[in-house]
Amino acid sequence: MATVAAADLKDPGLYEAGVPWDEFAALRREDPVHWNPEADGAGFWAVTRHADIVEVSRQPQLFSSAYENGGHRIFNENEVGLTGAGDSAIGIPFISRDPPIHTRYRKFVMPALSPGRLGDIEVRIRDRVRRLVDEIPLGDSVNLVPALSAPLPLMTLAELLGVSIDMWPKLYDWTNAFVGEDDPEFRQSPVAMAATLGEFFEFAQELFQARRAEPTGDIASLLANAEIDGEAVPFRDFVANLILVLVGGNETTRNSLSHTVAAFSANPDQWDAIRADRDVLKTAAPEMVRFASPVMHMRRTAMEDTTVGGRAVRKGDKVVLWYISANRDEDVFPDADRFLVTRKGAQHVGFGAGQHVCVGSRLAEMQLRIAFDLLADRVTSFEVQAPPRRFRSNFINGLKNLDVIMRPA
């Protein structure tokens, strides 16, 4: 198998103008398990094909996500902290744990997302979407990110945490800072980041103490009162898992919604298909997430000498799974670069794969389905006015703004 020259996939600047789709396509075709050197590290294996990513994801004992082995990001969490800011006061989130501890944490969280616990949350989400859309001036240009894409999932998260939904702007600022280690708009200075973390710690401490004193069954209560091997979870791990819930629950839905509106603008026939037959929405959400791929990669560390896609991988090597490439894999998705709301069957990895598949994936899809169902009542077309500003990030496929005109029905 040949090794091809490629851009540095770790470079966050590579994604500012747009995802390098041609680069990923060439790697899938010619060098699907590609060695990517690092200027500040030992390098990593860039895994770009769907089948190889699924195979790695199914072997957590061989390919570790654990903090002590570097964690789930390209940078080493055990050296620079969860957010890459030297945040030693933050503990270990369960995404950076291997089985069996990872599995136990998932079992703590799942009851908060059960149908019995969520109750009529679909009704409440629909009501929120309706109120948010009521505030949007149809026919005029509007920045959809603060108008709909960001507040919707953050209001849902606030409900799941048992805090006021009016907190969503603050949650928005915090999550941007947590994932924006390479974006000067989100990380203006170490001093500013320290202030952000201090503010968040204060909020988390109050929440932790309140839920320890009076558990309510929400996600914050479950995380605050979790026990591992008979030991109560410390506050620092509660903070780490709270960050995980906020980032995971916000970034996926928010950016899937924004990218999908942009996709409908570029493919008006797909919006017409939904308006003509609402049943399409029952299966369209996975295609929205596949096409958006809001989380671009996750990292693993090889625990033994092994092979991936025919490449010899050494013990200790970093293995980076490029979900954004796998979701355009032509061997899995016919016409992979096309946005097709009627696409069925193939399993995307937009929510991860294997043991780390997102616990809130169904709730994220529910929010997308509800949002576009209500928009279909009111909007005949979407017209993006200018290319959006993108996150400077190799991790989140994020849009900072989306200026769009929604034509009224």
Spatial distance between the Cα atoms of 400 and 390, rounded to a whole number of angstroms: 6
Per-domain boundaries in the chain: 12-79+92-408
Q: Would you call 100 helix, strand, or coil by DSSP? A: coil
> With contact defined as beta carbons under 8 Å apart, do 159 and 124 qualify?
yes
Which amino acid, one-letter code, is at 363?
L
Two tokens, residue 403: 């200026």
Q: What is the pLDDT of residues 188-245, one digit of tens each?
A: 888 888 898 899 999 999 999 999 999 988 899 999 998 888 889 899 999 999 999 9
Mean pLDDT value of segment 177-192: 88
> With contact defined as beta carbons under 8 Å apart, do 167 and 281 qualify?
no
Q: Specify the CATH class of 12-79+92-408 in words.
A: mainly alpha
Enter the pTM of the model: 0.95
Sheet holding 141-143, edge to edge: 141-143, 403-408, 379-384
Q: What is the pLDDT of residues 116-151, one digit of tens each?
A: 777 789 999 999 999 999 999 999 999 999 999 999
